[in-house]
Structure 1
Amino acid sequence: MTTEELYELQEDGNLGYACVYKKGDNGIHTDYMFPMTAENIANFIGKNAYTADKIIMTDMCDRLICESIYGGFIMTCPNQKLCRDIIPHLAPIQQGEKEPKDFPVATREEMEALWHSEEEAVMQAEFRML
């Protein structure tokens, strides 16, 4: 993703993590980041329904948003209102009535590299003021 696209992901302040565990990876997972809207969550689960053993989504403070298992089934979703909002987007994907939509998703490494470069720029500016 470009730097501009990474900044756009952060605009609404609803960014969260999706940890994708795949069978046979011995607990190693891949982290993705995107705005945690009901539609995005449903599309992400739908895209990974048959490749991920488990998906755990959290907010930036690592509070659980939802958890899904192989097949795209939601197992845990503490916020029942959010769960009710996800279902209308996810059910047609699960039933094969529609394909999951593409939307911007960054890897955790891409976002951390962006944050590191921002921090570095701030530190350099501070040193120049000394």
Structure 2
Amino acid sequence: MTTEELYELMEDGNLGYASVYKQGDQGMHTDYMFKMTAENIANFIGKNAYNADKIIMTDMCDTLICESVYGGFIMNCPDQNLCREIIPHLAPIQMGEVESKEFQLATREEMQALWDAEEEVVMQAEFRIL
């Protein structure tokens, strides 16, 4: 992703993490970041339904948003209102009626590189002040 796309992704503050655990990875996982809307959550689960053993989604403070298991089934979603919003998007994907849609997402590494670059700029500015 470009820097502009990463900034666009962060715009509304609804960014969260999705950790994808795959069988045989001995607990290792891949982290993605995207806007945690009901539609994005459903599309992410649908896209990874059969290649992930477990997906855990959290907000930026690591508060659980939802958890799904192999097959794209939601196992835990503390916010039942959000769960009711996800299901109408997820069910057609699970039934094979529609394909999961593409949406903006970044790897944790891409976001970390952006944050590190921002921090470096701030530190350089602070050194110039001294």
Same fold by TM (over 0.5)?
Answer: yes
Deviations 1:49-93 (A, max 9, x none): 000000000000000000000000000000000000000000000
**2:44 matches 1:44:** yes
Q: What SS class does the counterpart of residue 71 from structure 2 fall into? A: coil
Match of 2:57 in 1: 57
Deviations 1:1-49 (A, max 9, x none): 1101100110010000000000110100000000000000000000000
Match of 2:121 in 1: 121
Match of 2:100 in 1: 100
CA–CA distance in structure 1, aligned partners of residues 112 and 60 of structure 2: 13
Q: What SS class does the counterpart of residue 62 from structure 2 fall into? A: coil
CA–CA distance in structure 1, aligned partners of residues 6 and 80 of structure 2: 29
Superposition deviation, residue 113 in structure 1 = 0.6
- TM value normalised by structure 1: 0.99
Match of 1:6 in 2: 6
Match of 2:20 in 1: 20
Q: What SS class does the counterpart of residue 13 from structure 1 fall into? A: coil
Q: How does 1:69-80 map to 2 (within 5 A)?
A: 69-80=69-80
Aligned residues: 130
Match of 1:67 in 2: 67
Q: CA RMSD in A?
A: 0.4
CA–CA distance in structure 2, aligned partners of residues 33 and 109 of structure 1: 10
Superposition deviation, residue 129 in structure 1 = 1.2
CA–CA distance in structure 1, aligned partners of residues 119 and 37 of structure 2: 28
Q: Percent of pairs identical after alignment?
A: 82
Structure 1 stretches of 4+ moved >6 Å:
none
